[in-house]
Amino acid sequence: MRKPLKHSRKKLLMELLERMGQYLLWADERIWQIVSELSEEDYSRDLGMNIGSIKKRYVHLAEDYLEWYFDWIGNHSEKMLDFNALGRDEIFHIIQQTINRFIAMIKKPSVELIQIDAEKDKITIAFEEIFFHLVNHATYHRGQIVIGLRILGKEVPMTDYVPHRIQIT
pLDDT tens-digit series, residues 136-161:
999 999 999 999 999 999 999 999 98
Relative to beta strand 113-117, strand 122-126 is antiparallel
In the chain, domain spans: 10-168
So what's the pLDDT on residue 7?
63
- The rounded distance, in Å, linking the Cα atoms of 140 and 103 is 19
So what's the pLDDT on residue 3?
61
So what's the pLDDT on residue 6?
59
So what's the pLDDT on residue 76?
65
- Cα Rg of the chain (Å, integer): 18
Mean pLDDT by 10 residues, the chain (169 residues): 64 89 95 96 91 94 90 72 90 94 83 76 86 93 95 94 86
Question: Helix H segments across 7-51?
Answer: 9-35, 40-44
Class of domain 10-168 as given by CATH? mainly alpha
Q: What 3-state class would DSSP assign to 131? A: helix
